[in-house]
Structure 1
Amino acid sequence: MNELATFAITVFTGFFAIMNPISNMPIFLTLTEGADKETKQRINLKAVIIAFIIVTVFVLLGNYIFDLFGITIPAFKITGGILIFFVGFEMLQSKKSNIKHLNTVNIDENIAISPLAIPILAGPGTIVTATNFVANTTSYINIALIILVFGLMCLLNYIAFSLSDIIAKKIGDNVISVIGKLMGLIIAIIGTNMIIQGLKLSFDVFN
């Protein structure tokens, strides 16, 4: 039971660092600016559902994808670690998003699919993190736990987006920026750890 709890906390920490609700709020607010409350809620719900489906598919079929394309675990860990590191590095550098602002008069609800679901919620970093957790376990209980924890993260993002207007006014842009930088540091560390694990596995294979 303790092992399951530890695993669940590890998975939650990894997902939270990658797709933390607080740092995603400014993006949601910008993309839905000018929309009424009902439209925002429809976009919000659609985005989290699509993100959940995408990551769940990778959690369930990730190992088959590895076998199909001949991807090794060490190579995946190293490549994924580099990718996640750069995601965190960009957050630390405060680089602005390349997402174009949409017309605030006519809101296109397809923003729920892109860019909200992909790549903001279910981006490369999230998919790599999810598949990495699966690659480290053969237990169906652990796989189910990964899906449940990711579902919880989707729910937290849904709540944060729903309350984004209120929360932004309460905590201010500066606090949101600081939280984003802290998450960037954690993401970079997770990426570095994945690279180290991949290198260790590679040397074990050669030895």
Structure 2
Amino acid sequence: MLADYLVNAFATLFVTIDPVGLAPMFLAVTSGATAVARRRVAVRAILIGGAILFLFLVAGKNLLSALGISVPAFQIAGGLLLLMIAIEMVFEKRNRRKSESAEKAASHQEDPSDVAVFPLAIPLIAGPAAISAVILLASQAPDTLSLFGLAAVIALLVALCFLSFLLADKIERLMGDTAAMVVTRLLGVLLAALSVQFIADGVRAFIAANA
């Protein structure tokens, strides 16, 4: 049970955050920066993005309660959001949109370190889809041990993002455009299936709660 939950959590967050896909974005927004400056930007982006994800892991459920939103309703809404992201990935629209956001942010930043906050930390690492996924997964955790496991999964993915930033130039050369396109579409199909499962679980729980 715990193993299935953690595998599902890792797959959902890996596809949503897409650490490998962040490599070219990182290169785009840190173009012209020295190796030391890039490492500084990477560290700052990871700390901020990770902190946001952990914040919603801890306080997401309370935030929903304060807003009067039920967990099943959020499961349905979050599942639909993730499904939209999956459709963008399958039809190769998400990377294009993320690239445009990264380039636009880079052109408007005076200090290179500013890109650590936007667009790297927000929305590339801790974007709406990733935040929704964290709250969804936290709401589905069967016990406290599962929540600690989810925290470990988030920490692992944040570490993978940092590794992706450090190896960005090598990853981009290794993958190439064709391989990146194939991987993105396969991950999009996987995310679509997970999204439908989230929606189905939410509908079932919503009907049961209002029956």
Percentage of identical aligned residues: 26
Query: Which residue matches 2:207?
Result: 203
Q: Deviations over 1:86-124 (max 9, x none)?
A: 111112221222405224996621111111111111111
**Alignment of 1:40 onto 2:38:** yes
Query: Which residue matches 1:178?
Result: 182
For residue 138 of structure 1, report the CA deviation from its aligned partner.
5.3
Instruction: Report the Cα distance in structure 2 between the residues aligned to 1:100 and 1:157, rounded to whole angstroms.
Output: 16
Contact conserved, 2:16 with 2:129, CA < 8 A, in 1?
Answer: yes
Contact conserved, 2:90 with 2:188, CA < 8 A, in 1?
Answer: yes
Map of 1:33-72 to 2, 5 A cutoff? 33-72=31-70
For residue 154 of structure 1, report the CA deviation from its aligned partner.
0.6
**Alignment of 1:134 onto 2:138:** yes
Instruction: Report the Cα distance in structure 1 between the residues aligned to 2:53 and 2:108, rounded to whole angstroms.
Output: 30
Instruction: Report the Cα distance in structure 2 between the residues aligned to 1:119 and 1:93, rounded to whole angstroms.
Output: 20
Structure 1 unaligned runs (5+)?
none
Map of 1:70-85 to 2, 5 A cutoff? 70-85=68-83
Instruction: Report the Cα distance in structure 1 between the residues aligned to 2:155 and 2:172, rounded to whole angstroms.
Output: 24
Query: Which residue matches 1:167?
Result: 171
Q: Deviations over 1:122-165 (max 9, x none)?
A: 11111111111111125222112111110100101111110111
Structure 2 unaligned runs (5+)?
none
Contact conserved, 2:102 with 2:119, CA < 8 A, in 1?
Answer: no
Contact conserved, 2:72 with 2:206, CA < 8 A, in 1?
Answer: yes
The count of residues paired between Structure 1 and Structure 2 equals 205
Distance 1:100 1:136, change over 3 A: closer
**Alignment of 1:9 onto 2:13:** no
Q: TM-score, normalised by structure 1?
A: 0.92
Question: Which of 136-145 and 18-27 deviates more?
Answer: 136-145
Query: Which residue matches 1:125?
Result: 129
Instruction: Report the Cα distance in structure 2 between the residues aligned to 1:203 and 1:77, rounded to whole angstroms.
Output: 13
Instruction: Report the Cα distance in structure 2 between the residues aligned to 1:187 and 1:112, rounded to whole angstroms.
Output: 27
Instruction: Report the Cα distance in structure 1 between the residues aligned to 2:22 and 2:109, rounded to whole angstroms.
Output: 22
Instruction: Report the Cα distance in structure 1 between the residues aligned to 2:42 and 2:114, rounded to whole angstroms.
Output: 11
- The letter of the residue matching 2:49 is A
Contact conserved, 1:34 with 1:104, CA < 8 A, in 2?
Answer: no
Query: Which residue matches 2:101?
Result: 99
